[in-house]
Structure 1
């Protein structure tokens, strides 16, 4: 992972994050100063950022919001103070309301980003300065250390490009923490078509099958927010295994970029998971990212032990065939 250290200093009133990247300083600077690239990693998993304003000049301002998995929105603004590209920039970072106005009773901090060359690429040092120990403590309690670590650890795939990052690696499963898992798979095909393949029953029945020997017997979807879905699978021609299914609700839908749903095993009292699907397209390929939130570590480990990753890889392999035929 790129992040090598995050420390807080109650005496200096700072939080400092250090990360190493196999990319030159100029490429790292570009990722932090081009809003379409910046929003691909600035928010941690489950809280992607959208920059609606970005004036990279002394006295200029950037405005953004992060959207949570249930549609909740968290707004922020930056005021750029000093810029010396590609080496460093400094900005005031403030919480904001939905109109972009600074929230006075929340901490405003001063962020200093420094980019330096190394023997293998470049190093980022991000030092955030606070006005008081109370402000530092409040931000840490809100999850700033964990959130910034998860966010910056997403930067590799932006710097490398999606093909270099994921092509040929198949379905990858990463444990993010006790209750969150991230699954990624690059597929050949445009994002609009990949989105359709996740939303239209006639397409889903062709690929969302898991290992060989199963068929999708039920595929009912209302993809609108608040809509319900129900999937079921059964063995082909009386093969081994018992029929099973899942049901849930759509909590967020931002076509063709993101969909968040609950997932519950039909007919059981197992708790639901939260499934956050996002799609990124680059050079004719789409990176599928699924962040799953489990109720606890035990449930997470139980599900991973079922061979979920291998089953998803079989399905994604079929998906590429569907995309080729339909596209």
Structure 2
């Protein structure tokens, strides 16, 4: 985790974030000034940012929105007031409405500073608020926790994607009692990986878990709010009982992200929220699934089923059967 300190000062009306990043200043600068790279970490897990404008000039503006795992949205804008490449830049950060116009409350001046350190780069981000009320509002909204978790994603952004993930299989991170992040690099383009997740004929070829199973039924959602289901059965006398999952699509943002609810067919739960995102670099795609469980016991129970091993078998089959043809 690159964040070393997050400090709020009610007297100075500031929030100061300090991070120790294992990359040179020029590389960190690119991560903060390229909107496609910013989208990978500007927003905590489950709330990725999408930048729709990015005019990186003094007086220019960046506009972004974040969509949560339940379909909630929040939008904000930066106005660039100073740029000193590659040492730092300053923005006026403000919440905006659907029309892009700033709304009252929560506005701040943010100063980003990058300086060389023994390990790479020391990053300091200082937010200045005009009133106690605006500072308290963002603190109550979870600004400190959100900054820590968002910045925790920077390691993956600053490294070459293949260096970061290739050959490391399916990896599991326990983020807290109810959230798990699962990542796997697959050697193929994002468009094809998205299709593999969203075309029934392709799904039947790879999303099977361990050998000896087949997908017998699949119906996919085509828009947010639609229902979906799929079902597997053992082949021949290999053992096991047929089972399936069902749920609803919450977010569908092809070919980047999908969020769905999921529960075992024929039951009332427990229900999870599965947040799938795809990021491509140099012809490889990082598949990230953020799973939200209702409680710790459910999290541990589901992980103990061998779910991750089944996912790794499916990803290996995806590379072998679809991404090499």
Q: TM-score, normalised by structure 2?
A: 0.95
User: 1:41 aligns to what?
Assistant: 41
User: 1:184 aligns to what?
Assistant: 183
Deviation at 1:197, TM superposition (A): 0.6
Q: How does 1:204-219 map to 2 (within 5 A)?
A: 204-219=203-218
Gaps of 5+ in 2: none
User: 1:57 aligns to what?
Assistant: 57
Q: Deviations over 1:268-308 (max 9, x none)?
A: 22221111111111111111111111112221122122222
Q: Which runs of 4+ in 1 moved over 6 A?
A: none
Q: Deviations over 1:156-193 (max 9, x none)?
A: 22211211111111111112222211111110111111
Q: How does 1:144-223 map to 2 (within 5 A)?
A: 144-223=143-222
Deviation at 1:250, TM superposition (A): 1.3
User: 2:302 aligns to what?
Assistant: 303
2: distance between equivalents of 1:218 and 1:300?
A: 26
2:192–2:323 CA contact under 8 A, matched in 1: no
User: 1:129 aligns to what?
Assistant: 128
1: distance between equivalents of 2:18 and 2:300?
A: 30
User: 2:80 aligns to what?
Assistant: 80
User: 2:94 aligns to what?
Assistant: 94
Deviation at 1:209, TM superposition (A): 1.4
Gaps of 5+ in 1: none
Deviation at 1:117, TM superposition (A): 0.8
User: 2:109 aligns to what?
Assistant: 110
Does 1:288 find its partner at 2:322? no
1: distance between equivalents of 2:227 and 2:260?
A: 9
SS at match of 2:323: helix
RMSD of aligned alpha carbons: 1.6
2:56–2:80 CA contact under 8 A, matched in 1: yes
1: distance between equivalents of 2:79 and 2:225?
A: 37
1:203–1:322 CA contact under 8 A, matched in 2: no
2:43–2:66 CA contact under 8 A, matched in 1: yes
Deviation at 1:133, TM superposition (A): 2.6
User: 1:227 aligns to what?
Assistant: 226
1: distance between equivalents of 2:172 and 2:199?
A: 25
Aligned length: 325
SS at match of 1:164: helix
Deviation at 1:60, TM superposition (A): 2.3
Q: TM-score, normalised by structure 1?
A: 0.94
User: 2:9 aligns to what?
Assistant: 9
Q: Deviations over 1:3-62 (max 9, x none)?
A: 222222222222121212111001101111122221221122222112122222332222
SS at match of 1:312: helix
